[in-house]
Amino acid sequence: MPKIVSNELPGPKSRQVIADALQVQTPTRPSVRGTLVIEEGFGSGIKDPDDNIYIDLSAGVAVSSVGRNHPKVVEAVREQATKLMHSAGLVSSTTVKLAKKLSEIMPEGLRDECFTVFGMSGSAAVETAIKFAKAITGKHQIVAFEGAYHGVFHGSLALTTRENFRVPYMPLMPGAIHMPYAYCYRCFAGFDSKSCAQACGKYLDFKLNTPNTGADDVAAVIVESMQADGGYIDPPIEFMKALREACDKRGIILIIDEVQAGAGRTGKMWAVEHYGIKPDMLVWAKAVGGDMPLSGVTVHKRFYEKLPQSSQVITSAENAVVNAVGLANLEILSDPKDDLIGRAAKLGGELKQRLLDFQKTCRLVGEVRGRGLFIGVELVSDKDKRTPLDAKYMGQIAKTCEQRGVRVMACGRYGNTFRLMPPLVITEAHLRKGIDIFLEAIKEVEAATA
Ligand code: PLP
């Protein structure tokens, strides 16, 4: 349970770390944001330098699914580092084992019929995926979606729709086109979810059918199978099916970005498995490496021969220790004994029900959505008008949680969605207690704004 030893947060030791960080870190470094400094981690808990303990309902942005120092991961690091720290310029057997494991656990359509190119961040893997799509098809445009977050490099940022991230770095990769994502709570066409007939899926088809728009030059559609930074949105099955069909009709490559939703979090190994569609490429990162610099794009092998033979290697992208961690994480996640993925489905289902019940009693909860331990709680100040809750109150809820020993993070186009994405190893007691505190903080803002 969280143990608050200081009412004043951050405590003196944390304040010193923050002061030092401000001297030596670049202004864009997110760890300088906010007040929470981390010194130790365990399971779903984190400890700051002043010995305050917090329940982490954000898993370090969906990264620490198996906790921050799982004994099997620690042992994998020790064993690999003792044998071989790095393999740059050569192939290590650990890297091959990881690629093999990935091939075995990929969703249908890629499973046992794919190859993987490794990277060191989700952004890097997205860059590789879009380069490959262009090389394979000889086309140049990439379709992405409103609200998407695909990374920070020139290609991945061009596919991202956060203007404050993009504008300082213009011009970005040319040829990025954005289409509406099935964010049904805020439908672009104003439909309610019963009457829409999937206008957003149809719009992609309409756009691709329109002559003289460049639509015949589309190499790939890249989509988050559940939109993460855009608001923790699980789109309807029909939307994802419409994308697959639109791509199939025209030989367009469908790239599924599972950087945040993948690796078991949604109650299946890959979120795309909820939709029954087959990706051509799947981009993964975050929880596979557990914050080690590990990512990759896993590509169907029918494209292998179409790729240029020139070298595209990132020097340290196949680091043996990093790859050993990836392998250990995937083994833990796919171990039927602990069944962490089944557990994510079960705990997530119970949690969602609890939040839906809470929604009935709380004026601020506009929508509860998501699957498994990938849950978005969108807060509004007016349920009928769906007015996003003001940033001031979102900040107040996060701060109250932190002061009571719980870490939560917000996201979304309006910044008004809390994303609940605890480690998959969270204990039921921690989850219950963390959510008690989270809901209490929302209730307090509700009372203060009555
Ligand atoms: N794609 C998605 C869906 C993401 O959520 C992120 C990061 O949050 C990225 C890509 C970029 O990953 P990274 O931050 O590892 O570069």
In 3D space, the residue among 310, 309, 307, 311 whose CA is nearest the CA of residue 134 turns out to be: 307
Q: How far is the CA of 339 from the centre of ligand 1 (A)?
A: 26
33 located within any domain: no
Q: Tell me: do 220 and 125 sit in the same domain.
A: yes
Q: How far is the CA of 444 from the centre of ligand 1 (A)?
A: 33
Q: How far is the CA of 346 from the centre of ligand 1 (A)?
A: 26
5 located within any domain: no
Domain count, the chain: 2
Q: pLDDT (tens digit, 9 = 90+) per residue, 230-246?
A: 999 999 999 999 999 99
Exposed / middle / buried, residue 437 (Cβ in 10 Å: 0-12, 13-18, 19+): buried
Q: Tell me: do 390 and 304 sit in the same domain.
A: no
d(CA 399, CA 311): 48
Residue 34 has a pLDDT of 64
Q: Is the pLDDT of residue 367 over 70?
A: yes
CATH number for 398 = 3.90.1150.10
With a 6 A CB cut-off, is 137 part of the ligand 1 pocket? no
**What is each CA distance from 180 to 101, 165, 172, 337, in whole angstroms?**
35, 19, 20, 41
28 located within any domain: no
Phi, psi of 430 (to 5 degrees): -65, -40
Exposed / middle / buried, residue 386 (Cβ in 10 Å: 0-12, 13-18, 19+): middle
Q: Which of 312, 334, 356 finishes a domain?
A: 334
268 located within any domain: yes
SS3 178: strand
CB-CB contact of 415 with 56 (8 Å): no
Q: pLDDT (tens digit, 9 = 90+) per residue, 152-205?
A: 999 999 999 988 889 999 999 999 999 999 999 999 888 877 678 788 888 898
Q: Tell me: do 216 and 365 sit in the same domain.
A: no
d(CA 363, CA 361): 7
Q: Which of 313, 334, 355 finishes a domain?
A: 334
Q: pLDDT (tens digit, 9 = 90+) per residue, 419-443?
A: 999 999 999 999 999 999 999 999 9
286 Cα nearest atom in ligand 1: 15
1 located within any domain: no
Q: Tell me: do 228 and 304 sit in the same domain.
A: yes
CB-CB contact of 162 with 149 (8 Å): yes
Domain that holds residue 300: 71-334
Q: Tell me: do 205 and 151 sit in the same domain.
A: yes
Q: Tell me: do 428 and 306 sit in the same domain.
A: no
Cα 338 to the center of its chain, rounded Å? 23
Supply the mean pLDDT for the chain: 92
27 located within any domain: no
208 located within any domain: yes
Residue 2 has a pLDDT of 57
- Residue to probe by mutation, ligand 1, list 260, 270, 283, 292, most atoms within 8 Å of CB: 260
SS3 90: coil
Residue 25 has a pLDDT of 62
With a 6 A CB cut-off, is 122 part of the ligand 1 pocket? yes
Residue 274 has a pLDDT of 98
Residue 258 has a pLDDT of 98
d(CA 130, CA 234): 23
260 Cα nearest atom in ligand 1: 5
Q: pLDDT (tens digit, 9 = 90+) per residue, 325-340?
A: 999 999 999 999 999 9
Q: Tell me: do 401 and 328 sit in the same domain.
A: no
Confidence of residue 381 (pLDDT cuts 50, 70, 90): very high
Q: Nearest C-alpha to atom 13 of ligand 1 is from which residue?
A: 122
